Amino acid sequence: MLFSAKQIIDFQGITSERITEIAQSILAQAQDQLAAIYGVAANQRNFDNTLRAYDDMLNALSNLGSIAFLLFCTSPAEALRQSCNQTAQEIEQFTTNLALDSQLYAAVQAYAETAEGRTLLGYRRKMLDDLLLEFKQNGLALPQEQQKILQTLQNQLIATTNEFQQNISEVADSLEVSPQEIDGLPEDYKKAHQLSNGNYKILLTYPSYTPFMQYAHAEEVRKKLLVLYLNRAADKNLEVLQKILTLRNQLATLLHFPSYAAYRHSTLMVKKPDTVWKFELDLVEKVRQKAQADYQELLEYKQNYQQKNKPNIQPDTTLDTWETAYYRTLLLKEKYEVDNLKVKEYFETSNVLKGLLAITEKLFGIRFEEQKKPNVWHEEVRCLEVWEDKKLIGYVYLDLFPRPNKYNHAACFPLVMGKTLPDGSYQLPTLALVCNFPSPTADKPSLLTHQEVETFFHEFGHGLHVLLTESPVCLYAGTSTKRDFVEVPSQWFEAWAWNYESLACFATHYQTGEVLPKTLFDKMLAAKNLGSGLFAQSQLLYALYDLTLHDTYDPTGQQTTTDVLRELQSKYTQFPYLTGTHFQAAFGHLTGYAASYYGYMWAKVYAEDCISLFEQNGMFDTTTGKKFRKEILSKGGTTDELLQVVAFLGREPNSEAFLRSLGL
C-alpha cells in the first residue's frame, strides 16, 4: 500500500518493483470503477454513483501519480526514479484518456439530463458543467476516427513533454575556473566549490550559478557561465520543443481552435488569447519607462566604476546581460548600503522556517509539529504534522538542499489533495516543498539571500492552498484552480518576507543573535524596486515568448524558436539576444504552463490587491487572515476564482496595488 497508519505515505516501503505493483493494482481498480460508472442505468444515475464515483477514481490515480512524480524528481535511487517516471507517465496517460472516453462522456451526459442533474447547485453544478466542457474540449463531439487520432496525439504529447523535462533534470554541465577567476566570491562559497587540483567547479544550479554572476570580478568568465546556463539541454531539447509545438498545433487544429493558446485559454480566467495579448502589451508600455531608468542607473554606475578602476580606458556605452547582476550587487552595496552577503547572515534557513511557520500559525490558528522519525525518501527530508486544535489536518514534507539527480528549482509538490471520503472523514492534504537552498557546511549553517527567503514564502503559499482546502472533491482541492489563478496565494504570502514586524520574529544574526536592524531593513525596502522594471520586462518576455509559440508561431515553417526569441527580446527588453544561446531549451514552464505563463503577472494583480487589505487592517490581523482562508484558501476551484477575490476584498479588484509594487 502507499499509506500506513494516520494516512502517512510509506516512502521507505516504495521500491522500484513495489511502485510498479501498486500502479498495476490502482489502474486495474480504476478500470473496475469506470465499468461501474458505465453500468449505472440512466434512471438510476445520481451525483454519488456518477460524479463522486469519478472523483473517487481520480483521487486514487492522483495520489499515486503525484507521489511517483515526486520520487522521480527527488529519489537518490536511479532504479526507483526510472520506475516512478514510468508510473507517472502511465497515470498521466490514463487520466488524459479519461477526457477522451466516450462511454464516460455518455454517462455524465445522461446524469446531466436527470431531474437531479438539471437542478444542481454550488460545486456540484460547477463540476458537472466543467466536466461536460472538458469532454467537448477534448473532441468527444468529433467523429470516432478523429477521436482516435486525438488520443494518439495526447499520448505522444505526454511522452514528449516528459522527455523535455527529463532532459532538463539530467543537465550536469559545469564550468571549471581558476583561483584568479573566482576572485570576488566569499570564502564559504570558494570552500564549497573547490576541487582537489586547486580550481573551482561552478554548477548551473541556483546556489552555485547566482552568486557567481553577482560577485565574480572576471567578466569574461561570467559571460562564459551565462552562455553555458542559457544552453542547458539545448543539444536535445530544441528538437523536442519543436515536436511538442507541432503536436500541440495538430491537437488544436483537430479540435477546431485557431491555435493551441486559444484551446488552452478557453477554460481559463482570460477565456481567449486576445485578452492576454492586451494585458501583456499594456504592461510592456507601463513598465518601459521604469526599465529604461533601471538600465540607465546600472549603466551609469558601470561607467563610474570603470573610470575609477580603469581610468585609461574609455567607459562603455552599453550594458551586457552578464553584467547586470554584478553591477546591481555593487550598486546595492554602495548606493543603497545593502550588502547581500551581510543580509544573508540574518537568514539562517532553520530560523526562516520557524518564522514562516509561526506567521502561518498566527494568521490561521493552526500549529506544526515535527515528526522525530519520519518515513521519508532521503535522510535530509523532514516531515511536519499540521494540527488545528486537537485535530490532525495535514502533512508537510521539507526537502530543502541540493544533491545529485534532484529537481533543481524550488517548487511545491501536492501529493494528496483534500477530499471528503466515503466514511465521512476528510482526506489529509499532504505536500512536499522541494528547494535547493545552500547546504550547511562544517563551519557555517545554511544561509539564505533575501530573494531565497521570498522564494521560501512563495512556495509555502502554494502549500497553504493545498493544506487549508475544504473542497469536498479532489477535483477542486487546493491548487486545483484555473491555471491563471493558482499563483495568487503564493505571491500573496511573499508580502510577509517584506514586512519588518514579520521579519523581526525570525531574522536574527546566525552568530550574535542580533535581530535584523530596522535601519538595514529600511535600506532593503528602499532598494526593493532597484531593477524592478528590468525584472518585469524579463517576465513579460517569458510570457510573450510562451504566448507567441502557442498562438502565432508555425513550428513547421522556416522560423525557429530561436528566431522568435531573438525578435521578441530585441523588441521588448533593454538587452539584445545573446547570439549562440537557447534559453528555451531549459524553459520548463513551456510544458506545464503551455500558453499560460502570463498567469504569474495576471495572478499578481489579484495577489497585490489582497495584500493591500492586510496592509490596511494589519499584516497579522487574524480576522483578515481567517477571511482570506475562508474566501480563497479553503475554496480551491469549487467556486469562480474572480468571485473569491471579490468576496475577500468586498469590492471589484483593481491593478493599483500591483502597479505600486513595481514602483510605478
Q: Could you report the per-residue pLDDT of 398-452, keeping only the tens digit for each?
A: 999 999 999 888 999 999 999 999 899 999 999 999 999 999 988 899 999 999 9
Q: Quick one: pLDDT at residue 293?
A: 94
In a domain, 150, yes or no: no
CB 433 within 8 A of CB 352: no
- Could you tell me if 386 and 451 lie in one domain? yes
Q: Specify the length of the chain in residues.
A: 664
Could you say which of 578, 597, 616 is where a domain stops?
597
C-alpha–C-alpha distance, residues 497 and 355, integer Å: 10
Q: How is residue 382 written as a grid cell? A: 523532514
In a domain, 496, yes or no: yes
DSSP 627: H
pLDDT value of position 349: 98
User: Taking the CB of residue 442, how many other CB atoms lie within 10 A of it?
Assistant: 5
Q: 50 and 15 in one domain?
A: yes
323: left (phi over 0), alpha (psi -120 to 50) or beta: alpha
Q: Tell me the whole-structure pTM to 2 decimals.
A: 0.88
Strands 391-399 and 430-434: parallel
Q: In this structure, are 477 and 612 located in the same domain?
A: yes
Q: Which domain holds residue 584?
A: 234-335+532-597
Query: CB atoms < 10 A from the CB of 5, how many?
Result: 6
- Answer yes or no: do 507 and 379 share one domain: yes
- For residue 575, give Cα distances in angstroms to 323, 533, 538: 11, 13, 10
Q: Kindly state whether residues 491 and 621 are assigned to the same domain.
A: yes
Place of cell 548606493: 335
Give domain status of residue 67, yes or no.
yes
Question: Among 598, 21, 519, which residue's Cα sits nearest to residue 271?
Answer: 598
Cβ contact 534:397 at 8 Å:
no
Q: What is the rounded distance in angstroms from the CA atom of residue 504 to the CA atom of residue 76?
A: 37
Separation of first and last alpha carbons in the chain: 54
DSSP secondary structure, 441-482, as one string: -SSS--B--HHHHHHHHHHHHHHHHHHT---SSGGGSTT-S-
One domain, residues 481 and 620: yes
Examine the fold and report which residue of 597, 620, 641 is the final residue of a domain before the chain moves on.
597
Considering the domain architecture, whether residues 380 and 431 belong to the same structural domain is answered as yes
Q: How far is Cα 660 from Cα 644, in angstroms, rounded to an integer?
A: 23
Cβ atoms of 179 and 295 closer than 8 Å: no
Give the domain CATH number at 485: 1.10.1370.40
| b/e 265-282 (16+ beta carbons within 10 angstroms → b) | beebbbeebebbbebbee
Helix spans in 427-573 (H): 450-467, 488-493, 500-503, 518-526, 532-551, 561-572
Q: Do residues 414 and 559 share a domain?
A: no
Report whether 3 contacts 416 (CB < 8 A).
no
Bridge partner list, 202:
175
Closest CA to 468 of 655, 633, 637, 300: 633
Indicate whether 591 and 644 sit together in one domain: no
Grid coordinates of 194: 573547490
Q: What is the pLDDT of residue 137?
A: 86
CATH number of the domain within which 84 lies: 1.20.1050.40
Domain membership of residue 641 (yes or no) is yes
Please give the Cα distance from 338 to 335 (Å, whole number). 8
- Which is nearest to 637 in space by CA: 135, 131, 263, 275? 131
Last residue of a domain, one of 570, 597, 624: 597
Q: Is 372 helix (H, G, I), strand (E, B) or coil?
A: coil
430 phi/psi in degrees, rounded to 5 = -140, 140
Q: Are residues 303 and 399 in the same domain?
A: no
CATH for 555: 1.10.1370.10
DSSP H helix total and E strand total for the chain: 27, 9
3-state secondary structure of 420: strand
481 and 469 in a single domain? The answer is: yes
Domain assignment present for 655: yes
Query: How far is 94 from 447, CA to CA, in rounded Å?
Result: 43
C-alpha cell at 96: 488524459
In a domain, 167, yes or no: no
- What distance in Å separates the CA atoms of residue 566 and residue 456, rounded to the nearest whole number? 33
| 382 plus 483 within the same structural domain | yes
Q: Please indicate, yes or no, if residue 161 is contained in any of the structural domains.
A: no
Position of cell 525557429? 560
Rounded Cα gap, residues 564 and 561, in angstroms:
5
The DSSP-derived string for 1-46 is: --B-GGG-B-GGG--HHHHHHHHHHHHHHHHHHHHHHHHS-GGG--
Burial of 172 (0-12, 13-18, 19+ CB in 10 A): exposed
User: What is the torsional sign of CA 178, 181, 183, 185?
Assistant: negative
Closest CA to 637 of 497, 506, 466: 466
- The rounded distance, in Å, linking the Cα atoms of 199 and 576 is 33
The whole-angstrom separation of Cα 404 and Cα 302 is: 37
Q: Beta strand pairing status for 382-388 and 367-370?
A: antiparallel
Sign of the four-CA dihedral 185, 188, 193, 196 = positive
Total structural domains within the chain? 4
Whole-number pLDDT of residue 139: 87
The residue ranges of the chain whose pLDDT is under 50 are none
Within-domain flag for 384: yes
